[in-house]
Amino acid sequence: MTFEYIDIEDPVFRANCQERNEEDYVLVRCNDYASVPINIPNWTPKPVCLSRRFERVAQTIKQMEVRPDDVWIVTYPKSGTTWAQELIWLVCNEFDFQKAQDIPLDARFPFIELSGLRDLPETINPLQDALQMPSPRFIKSHLPPAFLPNALWSVQPKMVYVRRNPKSVAVSYYHHSVSLHCYNGTLDQFIRSMMNELVYYSPFHQHLIEYSELRYPNMLSLCYEDMKRDLPGTIERVCRFYNKPFTGEQVTRLADHLSFDRMRQNASVNRSEWVEFNLKQTNRADKLHDNNMRFIRQGQTDGWRKELSEELIEAMDRWTLERVPPSSKYARLFQ
Ligand code: PPS
């Protein structure tokens, strides 16, 4: 059996998962991971928290064709995926800002397991879109290595991995879960679930560690905080990674296009229609103007300082310290 679906027994989770709208949560174990080129001795991937809907796409993704000129991005959710997607797509498409404006990012760069997380309108099927896309395809996923197509490890197309500070991810993920997954719990409950490894795609630390240990020369690792600190420098790194020529003028224009304020106003990337559709469908139209409901929400590296209590900050720091001691070679991934 390639995938096993294991009920969550945790009593804290079970006590009120229904109230929080987490009834579909399940642990998924992938038993077919021998082809993943990873430097972790005796690696046995842990089960990952996903939706029961994942069964709809699991096998198709695992068996899907991979092409040498595919452009993959993989991240733990809320790590700067959309920002990096728009950057990569424009670099790989001769800075065609007009096309980027005309075609929504989700059509240019499908999120392959989306229908394994939520129920989509019948006309929307990102996995089929990706399978049928002419080359070069642009593919987004949040899945850990064991869940990605087996062919990825032999074909090895270029892949970008983006990481972000755990506390920033957690706060952003909470707001995303409320707006797009109808999560009904509090911020405190969500953070505790994340520390309990019971939010979609957890365990969090494992995700970053596994990607950092892949023997995959065609991978570029980016981080959200570096993108904030030096966006033009990141654009140049991405251009070099894809062997794309660039001028200073193109880099400046792209940095401007990717600025938080511009992305926020850009209907091709800001998913405002999607959020609006969700809020209306779930009788929350009153939240349409709530800033925290916006997909491109705050865009800061230390916004968590204002949103998390001292107690939660300490608990999250302990969570990371227990899994990744400061002397560990992985500590740099979680700063
Ligand atoms: S998802 O759903 O996993 O694909 O989300 P993802 O795109 O990874 O993360 C969304 C967060 O990235 C922020 N974002 C940006 N920050 C700075 N500049 C730009 N241009 C930008 N675009 C997106 C977005 O606001 C989310 O973070 P928070 O902290 O919630 O604002």
Residue 18 has pLDDT above 90, yes or no: yes
Q: Are 109 and 138 in contact (CB under 8 A)?
A: yes
What is the model's pLDDT at position 84?
98
Question: pLDDT tens, 109-149?
Answer: 999 999 999 999 999 999 999 999 999 999 999 999 999 99
Q: Give every strand in the sheet of 158-163, ordered side by side.
A: 138-141, 71-75, 158-163, 219-223
300 CA → ligand 1 middle, Å? 9
Of 26, 318, 48, 75, the C-alpha closest to 176 is 75
Six-digit token string for 178: 């409320």
Coil, strand, or helix at residue 186?
Answer: coil
Residue 80, pLDDT above cutoff 90: yes
List, for residues 163-184, the tens digit of each pLDDT value.
Answer: 999 999 999 999 999 999 889 9
Q: Which parts of 139-258 fold into alpha helices (H)?
A: 152-155, 166-181, 187-195, 204-212, 224-229, 231-241, 248-257
Torsion (CA) 109, 114, 115, 119 in degrees, nearest 10: -120
Which whole-number Å values give the CA distances from 94 to 69, 98, 223, 247, in the listed order? 16, 11, 23, 11
C-alpha pair distances (Å), 280 with each of 94, 182, 241, 312: 38, 11, 41, 32
Q: Quick one: which atom of ligand 1 is closest to the CA of 168? A: 29
Cα–chain center distance at 298? 17
Tokens 């089960």, located at residue:
47
- The arithmetic mean of pLDDT across residues 57-64, rounded, is 98
Q: Is the CB of 166 under 6 A from ligand 1?
A: no
Average pLDDT over residues 200-226: 98
Tokens of 155: 């074909």
Indicate the average pLDDT of the chain.
96
What's the CA dihedral at 192, 196, 202, 204 to 10 degrees? 80
The residue contributing the CA closest to ligand 1 atom 16 is 299
d(CA 249, CA 231): 14
Is residue 35 scored above 90 in pLDDT?
yes
Say how far apart CA 172 and CA 154 lie, in whole Å.
Answer: 34
Q: Is 74 in the pocket of ligand 1 (CB under 6 A)?
A: no
Helices and strands, number each (H, E), in the chain: 17, 7
Centre of ligand 1 to C-alpha 42, Å, is 35
Which pLDDT belongs to residue 281? 87
- What is the model's pTM? 0.97
Region 41-45: what's the mean pLDDT? 97
Type of residue numbered 130:
A
Length of the chain: 335
